[in-house]
Structure 1
Amino acid sequence: MKRIAIDMDGVLADVYHQFFKMDEAEFGQRRKLQDVEGKPEREGFPHIMEYVNTKGFFRTAPLIAGCVPIVKEINQQYDLYIVSAAMEFPLSLPEKLEWLAEHFPFITWQQIVFCGSKQIIRADIMIDDHFRNLDSFTGDTSLLFSQPHNIQSDPGRHQRVNNWEEISKILL
């Protein structure tokens, strides 16, 4: 059975929704997606570190559309792991664990990997929205999940996916 590693933030959890919501609350105006496209997250949202260190940021992130039923099916056909570089934000650990338990109750604690660097991850397939994680990936298939910070970049050796329906067509 092939092993698959799926990133959490930006692939399962809609953190951009959180960024825009908190940015609007702080500055009184909702910016458009085009305002941040092609910019690293820290450039697009100058106060991002405050946002991600706010209690509830990770716990209340909405789901990326369509992910739950497709991840459930992937879980039945692959050796699935949810992999998050959560150590960068240590306060996020309990929130991410609770979020996963709520939205993905079929994923066991043994299938959750919170790490610092994803370079240690060994799998056949990885789905992530950051080049820094995919570029060091040594597996067979790397899927770059489209997000504003990577949308204008050439995916290079990675295959770009724009939504969970596209992932379903590739993997199921």
Structure 2
Amino acid sequence: MKRIAIDMDEVIADANLRFMDWYERDFGRRITLQEIHGKFFREVVSPEHREHTIKYLHTEGFFKDMAVIKDSQEVVYELSKKYEIFITTAAMEFPTSFIHKYEWLKQHFPFIPWTHMVFCGDKSIIHADYLIDDHSRHFKRFSGQGILFTSPHNVHEDWNPRVNSWKDVADLLL
């Protein structure tokens, strides 16, 4: 059975929405998806708010209860019937995220066993046929095929194959 490794943030969990919500909470201004098109969130906030916004990733609760990316649950479940699925997330970079990511996965993807949840730093350690991720930097040393999942920050990046939604993932791999 072939293996698929799947990133969490901006692939199955909507971190951009969390950034938008917290920024609006803290500064009273809603950043839109159109504003972050082709950019990272930190690039569009007011310069005096940038440092505060970057700290969100290291703040207790940032990764708790994120929204689920549309169609990810259904498609990952269907993929799990045909492939061995691993969730691979760079939780070590954000130590406060670990328990929240684990609980989020148990709640939203209960069919993924804990043995297939990989909290790591360098994803090149993952032995899989495919890696679905929103950061192509993870593909450089990955031995399988990287599949770029479109996110606002990577829309101008040239990578093939690229998927724009979980329906695209289904079309590619099911």
Instruction: Give the alignment's TM-score, normalised by structure 2.
Output: 0.91
1:27 aligns with 2:27: yes
RMSD of equivalent CA atoms: 1.4
Q: Give, in whole Å, the separation in 1 of the partners of 2:83 and 2:28.
A: 45
1:137 aligns with 142
Count the aligned residue pairs: 169
Matches within 5 A, 1:145-164: 145-155=149-159, 158-164=160-166
Q: Give, in whole Å, the separation in 1 of the partners of 2:33 and 2:64.
A: 23
Q: Give, in whole Å, the separation in 2 of the partners of 1:32 and 1:40.
A: 12
2:7 aligns with 7
Amino acid at match of 2:6: I
Matches within 5 A, 1:34-113: 34-44=34-44, 46=50, 47-113=52-118
Q: Give, in whole Å, the separation in 2 of the partners of 1:152 and 1:34.
A: 14
1:170 aligns with 172
Gaps of 5+ in 1: none
Q: Which moved more, 1:84-93 or 1:47-56?
A: 47-56
Q: Give, in whole Å, the separation in 1 of the partners of 2:41 and 2:130.
A: 25
Q: SS of the counterpart of 1:4?
A: strand
Q: Which moved more, 1:76-85 or 1:31-40?
A: 31-40
Q: SS of the counterpart of 1:116?
A: coil
Q: Which has the higher helix share?
A: 2
Q: SS of the counterpart of 2:85?
A: strand
Gaps of 5+ in 2: none
The C-alpha deviation readout for 1:107-130, integer Å capped at 9, x for no partner, is 111100000111211210110000
Q: SS of the counterpart of 1:93?
A: helix
Amino acid at match of 1:171: L
Instruction: Give the alignment's TM-score, normalised by structure 1.
Output: 0.92
Instruction: Report deviation, 1:41.
Output: 4.2
Instruction: Check conservation: 2:136, 2:146, Cα contact below 8 A.
Output: no
The C-alpha deviation readout for 1:21-72, integer Å capped at 9, x for no partner, is 1111122111222222222344345233321222221111100001101111
Instruction: Report deviation, 1:102.
Output: 0.4
Q: Give, in whole Å, the separation in 1 of the partners of 2:170 and 2:122.
A: 27
How has the CA–CA distance of structure 1 residues 48 and 121 changed in structure 2, closer, same or farther, with 3 Å as cutoff?
farther
